[in-house]
Each structure stands twice: as structure tokens, then as C-alpha cells.
Amino acid sequence: MSGLLAGKRLLVTGVITDASIAFSVAKLAQEAGATVVLTGFGRLSLVERIAKRLPQPAPVIELDVTNQEHLDGLPAKVREHVDGLDGVVHSIGFAPQSALGGTFLETPWEDVSQALHVSTFSYKSLAVACLPLMDAGGSIVGLTFDATKAYPLYDWMGVAKAGLESASRYLAMYLGKHGIRSNMVAAGPLRTMAAKSIPGFSNFEDAYSQHAPLGWDLNDPEPTARAVCALLSDWFPATTGEMVHVDGGYHARAA
Ligand SMILES: NC(=O)c1ccc[n+]([C@@H]2O[C@H](COP(=O)([O-])OP(=O)(O)OC[C@H]3O[C@@H](n4cnc5c(N)ncnc54)[C@H](O)[C@@H]3O)[C@@H](O)[C@H]2O)c1
């Protein structure tokens, strides 16, 4: 992939461990020639430690994507490291425990709204916060778990992901005039910190491992990260509002 992202300035959210999808994206993007700035949520010193494991240690900006002050201050903080952005990666998701695990009919609105704020609305918030940095157009990529179907126990996170996928299509529509593309990568299950908090995750693991036509490695985020890097590159110049599956082909066949 050498040179695929040469000269690109990227903001990558969502690194918390070196198993994070975002960590693989940042690593591959650097290897492909990009300059990467990370954002971190909560445990900043942990994110900074992980950032040092990248091929080039990357700066980390604090960003709680539900905090309007953080969002308003983002352009100035990014400009301390790069003079603009060509790409933004949204690799953020969260739902309170009551929103997952089979209590769909009882989950209170407060918990649903938190899931939607962090996992869905934040895609729009991040894009709008970064808009002043994207004068020359660019690419925004988000991570989803194909929400065109309902999965046992995934519950309100599935609803949040369906909203995220829709928000991406609306951003494609509203940001096209700025030369900005918005696309989703629908990854199969990967063993990350976020995945650990999903009840019944092992059911997904078994289904994908057994039924994906190409097979599926739960411990390898690189195929997903490669697709994100491809969408960030100049090789999808006329693609927006799209969802690319990186799931070993699982979505394409009846299990
Ligand atoms: N792991 C999977 O099986 C899988 C599959 C498909 C899609 N995804 C999606 O990929 C994305 C990244 O998840 P991951 O699996 O790499 O897990 P992860 O736990 O490594 O990353 C989730 C990130 O979300 C961040 N986050 C949570 N609340 C936030 C907030 N308020 N503001 C800013 N950041 C916040 C966390 O700090 C963390 O870095 C998520 O959108 C997830 O839903 C994951």
C-alpha cells in the first residue's frame, strides 16, 4: 500500500487499545504515507501510550464526541499539528448495558439516547466540527456492523448503527457540494474492547467463522483497516453514501 495515502492529513478517532480498529487504520495509514492525528476519549494517558506504538508516534487530542466544547475547539487543536484535513475516521461506539442483551422492550429512553448520541449523532457532529479543516474536500469514513438486519441481543446498538448508516447517506448528500465523501465500512466481528461489552458476541463469532465464504479472523482488524484506508484514498473519487462490507462475504449468503 506504499504511497496510497501519501501527503494525506488524517484525523483518526477511536483508539483505546492496540486491538482497536482505529489503531490498525492509523498504522496502515502511516505506512501508506499519511500524517495521522489521533483523538482520545477518557483515558488520555492510555491512548497516548498506545499512540507511541505506531510506526510514527502520533499526537492525541482529547475528544468526547458528545461534548460541544471539545467539538468547537477541535479545529484549533488539529491545526497545532497539521494545516488541514483530507480525511476523518469515525471509529466510535457505545451503548449502556441496558440497551443490549435482550431487554429491548424495557430499555429507558435515557439509555437509548446516550447510545444514539455517542454512536449515531456523533458522526454528524464530528463531520461538522472538521468541516472548516477540509477546504479541499476529502473523505469521512465510519465503522458499522451491518444494521440492515436485527440480531439477537444487539438491540439498541443495532438501531444506533442503522441510524449511523443513514446519517452517512445524509452527510454524503449535504457535504457533496464541498467535495467531501462519506462512506461506511461494515466490519465483521472483531475482538476489541467495545466487542467485549456486547452480550452474546460469541454467537456472532461462531456464525461468521463458520459461514463467511472467505472465512473470518476475529483477531485480525487489518482487512477492515485496509478498506478504510482505500476509502480515504483517491481511489474511490466518485463513491459516497456507500457501505462496503468487510466480513469475509458473510452478508451475501444465507447462513
Ligand atoms: N469490534 C467489532 O466487532 C466491530 C464490528 C463492526 C463495527 N465496529 C465498530 O467499530 C468502531 C470501533 O470499535 P472497536 O471495535 O475498534 O472498539 P474499541 O473499544 O477499540 O473502540 C471504541 C472507541 O469508541 C470510543 N468512544 C466511546 N465513547 C466515546 C465518546 N463519547 N467520545 C469519543 N470516543 C468515544 C472509545 O474511547 C474507543 O476508543 C465502533 O463504531 C464499533 O461499533 C466494531
| Residue 218 Cα: closest atom of ligand 1 | 3
Mean pLDDT of the chain: 96
Within 6 Å (CB) of ligand 1, which residues are found? 13-17, 20-22, 41-42, 63-66, 91-94, 118, 143-145, 187, 189-190, 192-195
The CATH number given to whatever domain includes residue 150 is 3.40.50.720
Q: Within a domain: residue 25?
A: yes
Q: Within a domain: residue 3?
A: no
Write the residue with the smallest CA distance to atom 3 of ligand 1. Answer: 189
Q: Within a domain: residue 243?
A: yes
pLDDT over 70 at 2, yes or no: no
Q: Which set of grid coordinates corresponds to residue 38?
A: 489521533
Specify the DSSP class assigned to residue 221: -
The residue to mutate among 16, 65, 149, having the most atoms of ligand 1 within 8 angstroms of its beta carbon, is 16
Q: 92: annotated binding-site residue?
A: yes
**What is the per-residue pLDDT across 187-230, written as a single tens digit (0 to 9) for each?**
999 999 999 888 888 888 899 999 999 999 999 999 999 999 99
pTM attached to this predicted model: 0.98
> Domain total for the chain?
1
Q: Is 211 helix (H, G, I), strand (E, B) or coil?
A: helix
Q: Which set of grid coordinates corresponds to residue 124?
A: 454528524
**What is the per-residue pLDDT across 142-192, written as a single tens digit (0 to 9) for each?**
999 999 999 999 999 999 999 999 999 999 999 999 999 999 999 999 999
Q: Please tell me the distance between residue 106's alpha carbon and the centre of ligand 1 in angstroms.
A: 24
Q: 198: annotated binding-site residue?
A: no
**Whole-angstrom distance, CA of residue 241 vs CA of residue 80:** 31
Q: Within a domain: residue 253?
A: no
153: left (phi over 0), alpha (psi -120 to 50) or beta: left
Q: 64: annotated binding-site residue?
A: yes
Specify the DSSP class assigned to residue 110: H
Q: 124: annotated binding-site residue?
A: no
Nearest residue to 99 via CA among 109, 110, 112 = 112
Q: Count Cα atoms within 13 angstroms, Cβ side, for 61.
A: 23
Q: Within a domain: residue 99?
A: yes
Nearest residue to 189 via CA among 198, 180, 181 = 198
What range does the domain containing 154 cover? 9-247
